[in-house]
Amino acid sequence: MSQTLSASTLLIVPLAPLAGALLAGVFGTTFGGNWIGRRMSHTITILGVLVAFVISAMTLKSVAIDGARFNESIYTWMEVGGLKMEVGFLIDSLTAMMMCVVTFVSLMVHIYTIGYMEEDDGYNRFFAYISLFTFSMLMLVMSNNMLQLFFGWEAVGLVSYLLIGFWFNKPSAIFANMKAFMVNRVGDFGFILGIGLIAAFANTLNYGEVFAKASELSALAFPGTSWMLITVVCICLFIGAMSKSAQFPLHVWLPDSMEGPTPISALIHAATMVTAGIFMVARMSPLFELSDTALNFILIIGAITALFMGFLGIIQNDIKRVIAYSTLSQLGYMTVALGASAYSVGVFHLMTHAFFKALLFLGAGSVIIGMHHNQDIRWMGGVRKYMPITWITFLLGSLALIGTPLFAGFYSKDSIIEAVHASTLPAAGFASFAVLAGVFVTAFYSFRLYFLVFHGKERYDQNPDAHHHAADEEPDPHGHHGDHSKPHESPWVVTVPLVLLAIPSVVIGFLTIGPMLFGEFFKDVIAVDAARHPAMAELAEAFHGPVAMALHGLTAAPFWLALAGVAASYYMYMVNPALPAAIKRIFQPIYTLLENKYYLDWINENILARAARGLGVALWKGGDQAVIDGALVNGSWKLVGWVAGVVRRVQTGYVYHYALVMILGIFVLMTYFVWLNK
């Protein structure tokens, strides 16, 4: 164990954002007396996240260059029957990378928020929430045991509820945060079942101890069935990842999370929460490698999400929702990589995606500021000349997203496509088709958004709803909703984070693909059975450096599919803008299907939710009121009262009445024994 990593230093990483959150959330709000103002609130919270980022970067350097490791328990909460429940840290290359991604993106979002939320009444409260969000995610990724993992898992869910419903007077925000909360509870039920099974059969919650017993667990059957225990465990764990990382059909909450302010949209979608599921599966790779059934399940779910959520992005007109569906699709790509046993590739795409997706969301927020709160891309156009910094950074983010050679997204997306193609699992065929088709779809909706916003005719003064605050729009923190004045560039606190995020969006893939995928970076962290799952071995054979990969990419199918997507969007929205409307008329049933999001929301609300409410009402009215209160509680005292009433009439107090009853009793007994009991 390296001495360069100390527990006290590592504790500062999650506790610094927590301290900022507590100070801003208590003393900067009415709850604590508003002792500190806006300037102090954002200074404290930004300082906390900055400290966390600096220590995270130093930790990554120690881990990557010096080979430092840390795996210790910090505090023992309790011990029950030999099962230890602890708080501890596991710092290896996977954790250190996640710490840097989370803290850097969070730092950019914090700085950006100064400009975006400057006039909002809940300014201090918002900073407290996003700092608390950062703390929760750091506790999740730094944990060395499943108890702490579950704490962080639930904590990010709780804070996401607060952030999505930040504007709590807005009905759509209230519905969205409840939806996110409920859908995540469905997945979390599966997740805690998986953890419970591990605790029951391995009698430990510590990662290292569980992985040491993995071969023993793989030999066991699930009680009462012929199913492999390890398969049941992995599928239960992945159900947790399905809700947290928004995989079909538990994805429905993520597009609605747009009801929160744009900065939190960036934080949820890019660096925190949705990446938790991907991180968890990669961390649990020693278990998942033992079950091909679970890996096939992951492949299918990821492929469906990657392709079919991308289709929904094509028809969206809200600038944030297009990017939200892009997140869903890209999370599908990461999941597919996990299913192909290319865990390092999935995590690599998680990292590259965090930078360019945060860039795109914050760029969208900058456009919303510059367009005086307009979010409908149909009423933008020509923004490029008014917002040059936002334009160039947004273009770089879009190029990274579609997988342009030399950009960050190219190295991770192409590696996923190649890994799936090399996989020998039965589900790999469908997954390979889905991720290839998804390249065209991604390029199409990304550049549809780009062209409609930044190029073409200026339409910002033609919005028929400009003077009406739509129910699904963000409240305007800048007080100029409906202003028809020209767009303007955002202030420096908005543009600086855009520039700082654009740099890794371009170069991070080129710089890190070698060590992360084919070097020693994830050695002894991610487990792959190369004999059964040869995808990574094949990728390693074909890799000859990032430059050679980029040059080869220019001749490969994904590049031409992406180019076709860009060309199609340019023709349809710049050259022949009447064509989309004609296609919509011809394929109206398909458009209706996409517009209704495959009717999954309708099914959830009208079948599943209604059935659940019906069951609840039946148990309440029938079980609680009728059976428990009515029959058992009220029925018992009424029966006693009735019996007492009857008995009271028999007890007259006259001796001759009692004598008569005795004679009748003797007569009945004699009749029974003499005549009937022969």
Q: Compute φ and ψ for 77, nearest 5 degrees.
A: -75, -55
pLDDT digits (tens, 9 = 90+) for 435-494: 999 999 999 999 999 999 888 887 777 766 654 555 455 665 555 444 456 788 888 888
Alpha carbon 446 to its chain's center: 21
For residue 91, the 8-state DSSP code is E
| Dihedral sign of CA atoms 260, 264, 270, 273 in order | negative
Task: Look at 172-186, 373-387, 533-547 and tell me which has the smallest mean pLDDT.
Answer: 373-387
Those residues whose C-beta lies under 8 Å from the C-beta of residue 616, and which sit 6 or more positions away, are none
- pLDDT band with cut points at 50, 70 and 90 for residue 135: very high
The percentage of the chain sitting over the pLDDT mark of 90, rounded to a whole number, equals: 36
Those residues whose C-beta lies under 8 Å from the C-beta of residue 150, and which sit 6 or more positions away, are 191, 192, 195
Quote the CA–CA distance of 626 and 634 in Å, as a whole number: 10
Quote the CA–CA distance of 29 and 162 in Å, as a whole number: 15
For residue 294, the 8-state DSSP code is H
Quote the CA–CA distance of 253 and 258 in Å, as a whole number: 10
Quote the CA–CA distance of 8 and 12 in Å, as a whole number: 7
Q: What is the pLDDT of residue 476?
A: 58
Q: Compute φ and ψ for 373, nearest 5 degrees.
A: 85, 0
33 has a pLDDT exceeding 80 = no
Q: Which amino acid is at 187?
A: G
Overall average pLDDT of the 343-347 stretch: 92
pLDDT digits (tens, 9 = 90+) for 245-260: 889 888 888 888 888 8
The CA angle 542-548-554, to the nearest 5 degrees, is 100
Overall average pLDDT of the 236-241 stretch: 93
pLDDT digits (tens, 9 = 90+) for 578-592: 888 898 888 889 989
Q: What is the pLDDT of residue 482?
A: 46
Quote the CA–CA distance of 113 and 93 in Å, as a whole number: 30
The percentage of the chain sitting over the pLDDT mark of 70, rounded to a whole number, equals: 95
525 has a pLDDT exceeding 70 = yes
DSSP string, 94-124: HHHHHHHHHHHHHHHHHHHHHHHTTT-TTHH
Q: Compute φ and ψ for 86, nearest 5 degrees.
A: -130, 165
Quote the CA–CA distance of 281 and 310 in Å, as a whole number: 23
In this prediction the pTM is 0.87
pLDDT digits (tens, 9 = 90+) for 347-373: 999 999 999 999 999 999 888 888 877
Quote the CA–CA distance of 171 and 561 in Å, as a whole number: 41
Average of per-residue pLDDT values in the chain: 87
Quote the CA–CA distance of 634 and 627 in Å, as a whole number: 9
pLDDT digits (tens, 9 = 90+) for 626-636: 888 888 888 88
Residue 91 structure tokens: 């710092």
pLDDT digits (tens, 9 = 90+) for 608-627: 888 988 898 988 888 888 88
Q: Which of 297, 508, 552 is nearest to 414 (CA)?
A: 552
2 has a pLDDT exceeding 70 = no
SS3 content of the chain, % helix, strand, coil (to 5): 75, 5, 25
DSSP string, 241-285: HHHHTT-TTTTTHHHHGGGS-HHHHHIIIIISTHHHHHHHHHHTH
